[in-house]
Copies of this chain bind each other. A is one copy, B any other.
Amino acid sequence: MTLRNHQFRLAARPVGAVKRTDFNYVEEPVHSPGDNEVLVKTLYLSLDPAMRGWMNEGKSYIPPVALGEVMRAGGVGKVVESKHPKFNAGDFVYGTLGIQEYATLDGKGLSKVDPSVAPLPVYLGTLGMPGMTAYFGLLDIGKPQPGETVVVSGAAGAVGTVVGQIAKIKGCRVVGIAGGKQKCDYLTQTLGFDAAIDYKSDDVKKALRQHCPKGVDVYFDNVGGDILDIVLTQLARKARIVICGAISQYNSTRGVKGPSNYMSLLVNRASMTGMVVFDYADRYPEAGREMAGWLKSGQLKTREDIVSGLETFPETLLKLFSGENFGKLVLKVADA
């Protein structure tokens, strides 16, 4: 039997929002693994805001996806066949599988995951890159102290939910900014945030003043744009802003909106620091163990928004930018 592999390959550099025509949907035979290679069947793929940046040309923290290349994506899969000493058929693994049904890989950056610790999609969210991003961005750069006020935007997303919950574990007052009543209720009622601000219906500045009477000590920014600018007006002395992303700007065709209130950094002796999760790769196991402990004790809750069908990829990805997803957005490709 020759296995067939369906793939989304990048066909064009998107202008503004991603469209189906920016990809070619291709079918090709599965490549059998050579020596020291492993064949993985994709089960779940991670859809992340950062993917939009990878489609652009030009220097960034990793090279862009080349035209014609399979679209880059992290995923969880099952080893079908292995000629690699570290992996056996039947192993569950996390790696950069790409938007395709099968990946033939050299094992670099591939790691085993244990479905008895957490359901497989959790390895794409809280125990995956978003969780690592939250953990290191908040603790290493935000450095929240007990009693401080932590604000996070994109609060109901894969990174934001973890940021807020870890900040609560560390004894902070936590305020989330998210879109819609349902998400805001989830933050305060299920995740234990002290307050949630609905940017779609609340006056964000007024609400920040109300919920952060002593100012914002740590702001974990996933969205950029107007919300970053508003939070800048509410900083406490020596505030730390973690620049994790700017989803509001990724599809902009008119250039990025810079934070015009950045001089608040001077007035408040505050800092704004960028972070890229890959820098912490050698500490992922440490963070993973601690977060698995919090999952087990119930201090950390996860939520995944799982959409089925590889072929829905371009449209499903757009849910991230419309704010439609609720929890970590995962594309289910196959059953285990």
> Which residue numbers of A lie inside 8 Å of B, CB to CB?
59-61, 224, 229, 243-246, 249, 255-276, 279
Contact = CB atoms under 8 A, between A and B. Distances in A.
Nearest to A256: B260
A260 B258 contact: yes
A274 B279 contact: no
B260 A261 contact: no
A95 to B, nearest CB: 23
Contacts of A268: 61, 274
A139 to B, nearest CB: 16
Contacts of A260: 255-258
| 4 A-B pairs with least C-beta separation | A258-B258, A266-B274, A265-B274, A258-B260
A301 to B, nearest CB: 27
A261 B249 CA distance: 11
Contacts of A245: 266
A270 B271 contact: no
A251 to B, nearest CB: 14
Given A255-B260, A258-B258, A271-B273, 15 more contacts: A60-B267, A229-B258, A243-B263, A243-B266, A246-B266, A264-B274, A265-B272, A266-B274, A266-B275, A267-B276, A269-B273, A269-B274, A269-B275, A270-B274, A272-B273
B271 A263 contact: no
A59 B267 contact: yes
Nearest to A224: B263
Contacts of A271: 271-274
A61 B279 CA distance: 35
A134 to B, nearest CB: 15
A235 to B, nearest CB: 10
29 contacts: A61-B266, A61-B267, A229-B258, A243-B262, A243-B265, A243-B266, A244-B266, A246-B266, A255-B260, A256-B262, A256-B263, A257-B260, A258-B258, A258-B262, A259-B259, A259-B262, A262-B272, A265-B272, A266-B274, A266-B276, A267-B276, A268-B274, A269-B273, A269-B275, A269-B279, A270-B273, A271-B271, A271-B272, A271-B274
Contacts of A270: 273-274
Contacts of A246: 263, 266
Nearest to A233: B59
Given A229-B258, A257-B258, A258-B258, A269 B263 contact: no
A213 to B, nearest CB: 15
A279 to B, nearest CB: 6
A275 B270 CA distance: 8
Contacts of A259: 258-259, 262
